[in-house]
Structure 1
Amino acid sequence: MKNFIIDVGTPVFIDALSKFGHVFEVKSGKEFSVNERLNYTEVILNYEDSVHKDYIANFLKSKNINGILSFSEDNRKYWYELAQNMDIFTNIKLPYILNQNKLFCRKKINSILQNKVRCDTINDFIGLGELQYFPIIIKPYIGKGSIDVCKCESIGEVYHFLKDKDISCFYVEEFIEGEEFSIEACHIKNNHIIYGVTKKIKYPGTLVESVHISNVTTLNDEQIKIMNNIYNTLEYSDTVSHTEIMISPKGIYYIESHPRLGGDLIPTLTLPKFKDNFYEKVMEISLGKAKGLELKNQMKIRFSVFPFPSKVPCTFHFSNEAKLYLDNKPEIYLTIPFVEECIITKERPMNSYGRPIGFAGEVDNLDDVESKIIEITDYCNSYIFK
């Protein structure tokens, strides 16, 4: 039997990879430990532990690992280097690591697209003086979940946001108006297959997503050509991807892309399109074993929503009664509380990790999405946010 390392602990990922061999699921923790579970092995390691790095590598080598599958941006470089050191297969390619630097990647994409987005280092932007352009988005070079991302309308707001931060970790992008979408794709060798186009809606006054809706739109041939150009430039092959774009009257603007599945329950929104088990297909693609992909029409509309309290401060408490009520709602197929209980003091989440709960649902028509979202949000405000 073959042995594989995977660096995400999602049960559906572990189960899917188990079809191809024994799974060593690696979690981040303070101290190294190994725990045998029902159908896989759990490994805890401290990625920052340089003292025991060789010991950990030797342990993994002793398990005759055949491949490393990494879907975590945090540890991508670690696993790539370990795979190179062990001379074994990995789904990570060097361009994926280089592309994690968002300014580097932005310039790379600007070089091949007609619709370019202005970008600068912080020092270069400040040095522009009267030629500074607003509004802008300040982003960390490497980051996720909208953490430390800020929209600024003036140089004063720039200085205020950066006053307690290391400016060498941040850069500036021109803010683009338009409708934002995430594009989900599979890449089998050099064949790019777009299977999901999801509309994104944000909390008012933030850069954090509150709603995702599938099947709102489809890309035309010209837009698909642009996406394929992006995928080729990012050198995607034998992977899945989650790419964020803005569609304006001028066309497509690239925001950012990642060689992994989307977050925010997005993978569940397009599950009905796959004839095969979706997560097993992801593993098959990532292992370089996929020959093709069969899709079918998705007849219903799926959405995910992340309610936030209308009044603060309040306490988030997800009771057994609330869980039972929501589990019995036929249009809700998934409910995930991200915390057990907490006190919410901010009027809106600062990033994706500040949202206490998420739901995914399915309705017959696009017109029904808004009413269901309102219904779910009202229930949360009455019975979960108190």
Structure 2
Amino acid sequence: MGRTMAEKILSAHSGCEARAGDLVIAELDYVMAGDAKGPKAVDIFREAGFAFRMDPKKTDFIIDHFVPAQDVLWANHHKKLRIFGEEFGVEVFEPGAGVCHTVVTEEGRVGPGALAVGGDSHVCTYGALGAMGVAVESVEIASAYATGKLWFKTPESIRVEFTGALAHGVFSKDMELVLAREMGENGANYMAVEYGGDALADLSMDARFTVANMSVDMGAKTGIMEVDEVALEWARAHGARIVAPVVPDADAVYARRIHLDVAELTPVVAAPPATGNAHPVEEYAGLPVQQAFVGTCTNGRLEDIEIAARVVRGKKIAPGVRFYVAPTSKKIYEAAAASGAIGARAEAGAAVLTAACGPCASMTGNGCLADGERAISSANRNFPGRLGSKEAEIYLGSPATVAASAVTGRITDPREFL
């Protein structure tokens, strides 16, 4: 009986033949600790009296959620990470370096075949590089620092085949929102979503990161993409260690198979209260918006910033609309500035924010919505209260859809701007 990609990666890292449902203890290639889970992990580590036995080059602290620190509590948490980092040789990426998952991939911390964990739900982003990224809590991070290992329950896998070619004005965000609708909010609960199909070959790495990133928003434990030469070259260019690229066996066993012909897709938006509540943009066209946001670990990369800039270039943001843009790393910020994409957004009337999470969940008050307001965002979640008021609404779309809506002041099909 053949094996899935998840089974192969856990087998390689545990030294045993891992099958769906098996419990294994596996060696970790990388641990990401941000400012949301990292401070508690430090507390647990110190209270337990653990010795730090992990290679410090296999972990980082990345300060991105609470940026800038909005009060003394979070300023002290950030200070705690800096002290721990200096003590044990762990690198600290300071505010403005970027969103954790973009920093991790840009800095070459993970590569094809790697097993990584991190204190944020969207660690599955690393799956675009053929790595297995799993979200964990603070106690697991502390345990990993003490042992370099963690236990895993080998997940069942769902096979997703994307075929065909995307039409003009349709993007990988549209693909993943449609998949979320097909899958259901918890349709992949504690499973690995394994991606393949000829449509992936036409996607840039930025677009692939979007696909892998949103696996968790269908309940998945992780998402893993088949590695091709594009991904391998990207990994090499960013200095990533290529552990052992994996592909699924032809006779691998899946809990479910899903096929989507992306040529049939049109731009979509996901209406509240769930990511999977996705429908063609025409169904919501004309709804007024008071806020628009392009950013987050889902859609704040260079390609996303440039697509949105293409939409707004030479135009003005509609009166009464707040348009925020947050590149997901300092490097992306600099590249977007050099290409003119940042300038185009600023000239249109957008506010360009620090390279951080920003108005993804409004943790620092950034992008907080008032009662009765409506936002359109390139983020990944739209449940009530995500951006402040539970009486506000959040719609999700591609960066192009978000930018077009910012220009018109209402939810808008982006194809007329592209």
TM-score tier, shorter chain, comes to: under 0.3
The two structures have a TM-score, normalised by structure 2, of 0.24
Between 1 and 2, higher relative CO (CA 8 Å, sep ≥ 6) is seen in 2
Higher strand share: 1
Higher helix share: 2
The two structures have a TM-score, normalised by structure 1, of 0.25
